[in-house]
Amino acid sequence: MSSVCVVIPCLNAAHLVGRQLAALTRQPSARELKVVLVDDGSQDHLTDVVRRYEHHLDILVVRQHRRRGTGAGRNAGARAGTSDVLLFLDADDEVADDYVEAMTKALESSAIVSAGIDYRLLNPARVIRRTPPDQLCPVLDDGFFLPFALGGLVGMTRGLFEEIGGFDESLPALADLDISWRAQLAGHSIGLADTVVSVGLHDGHRSRLRRARFQARDIVPLRAKYAPHGLPAVTWRAHASGWLRLVTGAGRATRPAGRSCLVWDLGWQTGELGSLISHRPLPRPATARPENS
Q: What is the pLDDT of residues 57-91, one digit of tens each?
A: 999 999 887 767 889 999 999 999 899 999 999 99
State what percent of residues in the chain have pLDDT above 90: 73
Give the pLDDT of residue 284: 54
Indicate the pLDDT class of residue 203, thresholds 50, 70 and 90: confident
Angle between helices 256-278 and 236-248 (to 10 degrees): 160
Higher pLDDT, 83 or 131: 83
Give the pLDDT of residue 1: 62
Residue 34 belongs to domain spanning: 4-198
Higher pLDDT, 66 or 176: 176
- Number of helices (H) and strands (E) in the chain: give both, helices first: 10, 8
Name the residue type at position 261. Answer: C
Number of domains in the chain: 2
Give the pLDDT of residue 293: 44
Same domain, 167 and 124: yes
Q: Per-residue pLDDT for 291 more than 70? A: no
User: Is residue 285 assigned to a domain?
Assistant: no
Q: Per-residue pLDDT for 280 more than 60? A: no
Q: Per-residue pLDDT for 282 more than 60? A: no
Are 250 and 197 spatial neighbours (Cβ–Cβ below 8 Å)? Answer: no
Same domain, 191 and 209: no
Strands 154-157 and 112-118: antiparallel
Same domain, 146 and 228: no
Domain end residue (candidates: 198, 230, 252): 198
Are 272 and 223 spatial neighbours (Cβ–Cβ below 8 Å)? Answer: no
Count of alpha carbons within 13 angstroms of residue 24, beta-carbon side? 31
Buried b / exposed e across 124-162, counting CB within 10 Å, b at 16+?
A: eeebeebbbeeeeeebbbeeebbbbbbbbbbbbbbebbe
Same domain, 164 and 225: no
Are 57 and 25 spatial neighbours (Cβ–Cβ below 8 Å)? Answer: yes
